[in-house]
Amino acid sequence: MNLLAPAHDKLLFTPGPLTTSARVKQAMLHDAGSWHFEFNDKVRWIRDELLRVAGVSREQGWEAIPLQGSGTFGVEAVFATCVPPQGKVAVLANGAYGERAVQMLVHAKIDHTVLRTPEHTPNDPAALDAALEQDAAITHVCAVHCETTSGILNPIAALGAVTRRRGRAFIVDAMSTFGGLPIDLEHVGVDYLISSANKCLEGVPGFTFVLCRRARLLACEGWARSLSLDLLGQWKGFEKNGQFRYTPPTHALLAFVQALIELEQEGGVPAREGRYRRNHATLLAGMTALGFRPYLHPDVQSPLITSFHYPADPRFTFEVFYRALSDRGFIIYPGKISQADLFRIGTIGRVFPADLEALVAAIQRTVQEQGWRV
């Protein structure tokens, strides 16, 4: 085992943590006092910038609340804080992250119902409409924008329209889409959006953040089931003295300032979406030319992460495939679907079409060397 970093990092074709720019990494070569005004100014700037990236503002009643921990902590914080004691959540699930949301509700002993579709099938807005009509106890609806398990895109605009028409609050796990795909919060009718630093915003892991309507948040007084995951408490901490309530991931926040500057320099969300779409198109063209088959129908496939079937050759093993690509400097991702043998390739992070071409070339050489029939 080599405990020290190699001279060159391998490229990560994963859904986060992902490859970051050299300058994002360099931004971490500083120690910052979490109570110091210069650091707090940066936290304030990050909060405002997140709203700007989302196309909303404080004046319009929106707040951005960073929270220590990975993305899961952000989703759990919304449930723990914003669902009233007698509340009930309808979860739309077609993969591991929807199921994880269900697990959070089980742990928090929050009443819930689950509307499942198969892993290759988007959430069903009509089924949601029927559930909301039938069950007056449901107070919140939770959906996953891109279910990273497969890479499928769920119809959050249609789900949001149903949720708003039925007068419920809408929680969106946009972990793997925010910053990489446009999301019109007002039009979709989002009340709480959760994402994290180390996905399409191309920062390093360390914190999650929630974008929410201030009026919704303020109405949650007294409901928090957790101290450290109390979103309203976290917001009050920022409002009081500009600080995280407990030790923040200072280096990750410094890196995030640079990551947000780079998003702006790239041309904002539309330009980043364009690069991710070119990455995905390059990957798909190369892989299908080699004979690999994508798992999802193109109509529901996100440009962020793509699942491919294993080659039909019985001699294929993912472990050998993964190792060979790693030796060539490329890290891919195992599958996560229960119903099919798949591997996944992410096209987000500081990677470009030329990197995807290099990956496809490495896959081709590996397949040839192993003599696998694809």
Ligand X SMILES: *Cc1c(COP(=O)(O)O)cnc(C)c1O
Regarding 173 and contact with ligand X (CB under 6 A), the answer is yes
Q: Is 243 in the site for ligand X (CB under 6 A)?
A: no
Q: How far is CA 20 from CA 248, 287, 295, in A?
A: 20, 24, 27
Given the complex with ligand X, which of 152 and 260 has the nearer CB atom?
152
**Identity of residue 370:** Q
Cα–Cα distance for residue pair 370/59, rounded to 1 Å: 60
**Among positions 14, 94, 139, 196, the unique one binding ligand X when judged by CB under 6 A:** 196
Q: Are 43 and 66 in contact (CB under 8 A)?
A: yes
Interacting span for ligand X (CB under 6 A) from 29-37, 38-46, 64-72, 312-320: 64-72
SS3 of the chain: helix, strand, coil, percent, to 5 = 40, 15, 40
- Count CB-CB contacts under 10 A for residue 364: 15
Of the candidates 14, 148, 302, 307, which one interacts with ligand X according to CB under 6 A?
A: 148
Which phi and psi angles does 31 have, rounded to 5°?
-105, 130
CB of 4 to ligand X, least distance (A): 26
Quick one: how far is CA 23 from the chain centroid? 22
The answer to the question of residue 49 lying near ligand X (CB under 6 A) is no
The Cα-based distances of 229 to 9, 69, 365 in angstroms read 34, 10, 47
- Cα 304 to Cα 144: distance, rounded to the nearest angstrom: 14
Q: Least distance in Å: CB of 103 to ligand X?
A: 12
Is 176 among the residues that bind ligand X (CB under 6 A)? yes
- Our finding on whether 364 is near ligand X (CB under 6 A) is no
For residue 154, state whether it binds ligand X (rule: CB under 6 A): no
What residue number has its CB nearest to ligand X? Answer: 71
d(CA 15, CA 149): 10
User: Which residue(s) pair with 64 in the sheet?
Assistant: 211
Decide if residue 150 touches ligand X (CB under 6 A).
Answer: no
Query: Number of residues in contact with ligand X, rule: CB under 6 A?
Result: 12
Q: Does 97 bind ligand X (CB under 6 A)?
A: yes
Which of the residues 283 through 342 are near ligand X (CB under 6 A)? none
Which residue, 71 or 311, is less far from ligand X as judged by CB? 71
CB atoms within 10 A of CB 123: 24
Output the CA–CA distances (angstroms, integers) from residue 347 to 120, 246, 253, 343, in the order listed: 19, 34, 24, 13
Among 15, 189, 206, 294, binds ligand X (CB under 6 A): 15
Residue 251 Cβ vs ligand X, minimum distance, rounded to whole Å: 17
Closer to ligand X by CB, 260 or 348: give it: 348
| Residue 152 binding ligand X, by CB under 6 A | no
Residue 125 engages ligand X in binding (rule: CB under 6 A):
no
Q: Does 70 bind ligand X (CB under 6 A)?
A: yes
C-beta of 175 vs 363, nearer to ligand X: 175
- Contacts with ligand X by CB under 6 A lie at 15-16, 70-72, 97, 144, 148, 173, 175-176, 196
